[in-house]
């Protein structure tokens, strides 16, 4: 099973990124093999619909959950349609996020947790 | 003759110049006033036109028949705004992100996508004395101003031949401003002699130069701030076509929805001189 973490840099000890659609990197973690790969998020420069584009990328990666800070209404709709669960956390590294997920310590949310364009302003 | 009135910074006096220039010219010219600040049109507060008609503005947005979808994914690939998201046979549409280009429907090989009009605003028109007044209003919640701006200009296009059309543009330098200023014969950039006014003027100058529109500067609240603005215009060889002095009595008149030229003859004179300067500048090209 694969999950994704939004990240500010491309290693396990980098801070997680609280933005979803315009996060800098996606960490794609295979929980069975413990492998983790980082991909730069092309949606950071999207003209619009960054959350939709990011959700589409994650759907293509075959992840079943994403850990991030907040999701807007369009991202939330797209993730739900793609069958990707959303877990939120406030701060920590990518490594912390994965550990917290495994412990079941993260809160799963349904629906948007913030307004559109939050990631453009932070 | 089409004159657009723009600024970088908001609140510099675009509408003051647009409305009072229209009122000054109505004695000698056929005048159209197009309020293209469709997110918050306000010229009507000063002109108080009698509205005579209105028309809805729509953009075509995609409606998908998932039964016909063959999962090719082309609709999602072509959309620059991520307004359509194919997830296998399930296709999500985000109409508020859609710019109505029609690319998805055009590229769909099975004809699963048809387009429906989505109302994003309205164009209204009427008269204030002999001035033909047209403005657009973007529907609350709709983010897409340029089609409403273009609809305002289109409404005026054929009717205003031979007239002077004054376009009151939105502030800033983004798409709605570009849509307003494009195609003008001349652009007046209204600014104020403050560091903020100067900074945003430089952005607006870059924009009008990119658009290839001839332009000049109007300094409002002249006497405030410092000399940076005049130095900049001189260095860039930009003509300063008018100066409206900073005076509390003008602000008071504006705040109660008054018309400056009716209360202050010196403003009428400034705008008459501005009009002559614009005509000279426009002819020189």
Confidence at B221, pLDDT banded by 50, 70, 90: very high
State chain B's mean pLDDT as an integer: 95
CATH of the domain at A43: 3.30.420.130
Find the CB nearest A74 among B76, B87, B97. B97
At A121 the pLDDT is 67
Q: Is the pLDDT of residue A120 over 90?
A: no
Number of continuous H segments (helices) and E segments (strands) in chain B: 11, 11
Q: Distance (Å, rounded) from C-alpha B215 to C-alpha B218? A: 10
- The number of domains in chain A is 1
- Residue B234 touches partner A, C-beta closer than 8 Å: no
Average confidence (pLDDT) over B170-179: 96
Domain that holds residue A34: 2-120
Q: Which residues of B touch A46 (CB under 8 A)?
A: 81-82
- Residue A55 touches partner B, C-beta closer than 8 Å: yes
DSSP 8-state class, residue A98: H
Confidence at B112, pLDDT banded by 50, 70, 90: very high
CB atoms within 10 A of CB B109: 9
Structure tokens at B98: 């859609």
Q: Can you give the residue ranges of every domain in chain B?
A: 2-57+121-284, 66-111
Q: Is the pLDDT of residue B61 over 70?
A: yes
Average confidence (pLDDT) over B104-119: 96
At B249 the pLDDT is 97
Residue contact B92–A47, C-beta within 8 A: no
**Residue of A92, A60, A94, A104 lying closest to A79 (CA atoms):** A60
Q: Distance (Å, rounded) from C-alpha A111 to C-alpha B54? A: 38
Residue contact A74–B87, C-beta within 8 A: no
Q: Is the pLDDT of residue B227 over 90?
A: no
Q: Distance (Å, rounded) from C-alpha B86 to C-alpha B72? A: 9
DSSP 8-state class, residue B68: G
Confidence at B284, pLDDT banded by 50, 70, 90: low
Average confidence (pLDDT) over A92-97: 96
State chain A's mean pLDDT as an integer: 93
At B102 the pLDDT is 95
Q: Which residues of A touch B97 (CB under 8 A)?
A: 48-49, 52, 74
ipTM value, please give it: 0.84
Find the CB nearest B85 among A46, A50, A52. A52
At B230 the pLDDT is 95
CATH placement of domain B66-111? 3.30.70.20
Give the residues across from B251 on adjacent strands. none
Q: Distance (Å, rounded) from C-alpha B188 to C-alpha B22? A: 14
pLDDT tens track for B16-29: 999 999 999 999 99
Q: Which residues of B touch A56 (CB under 8 A)?
A: 76, 82, 85, 87
DSSP 8-state class, residue B158: T
In the CATH scheme, what architecture does the domain B2-57+121-284 have? Answer: 3-Layer(aba) Sandwich (3.40)
Confidence at B104, pLDDT banded by 50, 70, 90: very high
Q: Distance (Å, rounded) from C-alpha A55 to C-alpha A8? A: 17
Asked whether the domain spanning B66-111 has the same topology as the one spanning B2-57+121-284, the reply is: no
């Amino acid at each position: 099973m694969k999950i994704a973490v939004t990240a500010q840099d491309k290693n396990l000890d980098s801070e997680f990124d609280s933005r979803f659609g315009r996060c800098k990197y996606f960490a794609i973690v295979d929980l069975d093999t413990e492998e983790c790969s980082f991909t730069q998020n092309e949606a950071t420069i999207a003209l619009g619909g960054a959350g939709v584009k990011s959700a589409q990328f994650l759907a293509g990666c075959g992840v079943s959950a994403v850990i991030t800070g907040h999701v807007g209404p369009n991202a939330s709709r797209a993730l739900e349609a793609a069958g990707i669960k959303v877990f939120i956390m406030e701060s920590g590294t990518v490594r912390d996020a994965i550990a917290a997920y495994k412990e079941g310590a993260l809160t799963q949310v349904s629906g948007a947790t913030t307004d559109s364009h939050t990631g453009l302003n932070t | 003759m089409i004159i657009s009135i723009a600024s970088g910074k908001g609140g510099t006096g675009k509408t003051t110049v647009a409305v009072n220039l229209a009122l000054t010219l109505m004695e000698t010219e056929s005048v159209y006033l197009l309020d293209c600040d469709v997110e918050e049109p306000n010229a009507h507060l000063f002109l108080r036109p009698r509205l005579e008609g209105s028309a809805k503005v729509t953009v075509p947005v995609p409606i998908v028949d998932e039964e016909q979808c063959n999962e090719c994914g082309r609709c999602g690939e072509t959309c620059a705004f991520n307004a359509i998201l194919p997830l296998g046979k399930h296709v999500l549409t985000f109409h508020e992100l859609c710019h109505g280009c029609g690319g998805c429907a055009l590229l769909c090989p099975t004809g699963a996508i048809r387009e429906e009009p989505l109302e994003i605003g309205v164009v209204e028109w009427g008269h204030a004395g002999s001035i033909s007044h047209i403005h657009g209003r973007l529907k609350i919640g709709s983010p897409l101003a340029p089609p409403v701006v273009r609809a305002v200009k289109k409404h005026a296009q054929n009717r205003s031949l031979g007239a002077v059309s004054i376009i009151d543009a939105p502030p800033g330098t983004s798409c709605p401003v570009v849509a307003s200023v494009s195609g003008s014969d001349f652009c007046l950039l209204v600014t104020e002699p403050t560091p903020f006014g100067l900074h945003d003027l430089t952005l607006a100058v870059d924009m009008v130069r990119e658009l290839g529109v001839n332009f000049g500067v109007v300094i409002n609240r002249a006497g405030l701030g410092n000399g940076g603005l005049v130095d900049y215009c001189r260095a860039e060889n930009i003509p300063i076509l008018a100066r409206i002095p900073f005076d509390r009595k003008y602000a008071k008149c504006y705040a109660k929805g008054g018309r400056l030229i009716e209360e202050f003859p010196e403003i009428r004179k400034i705008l008459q001189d501005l009009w002559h300067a614009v005509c000279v500048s426009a002819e020189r090209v």
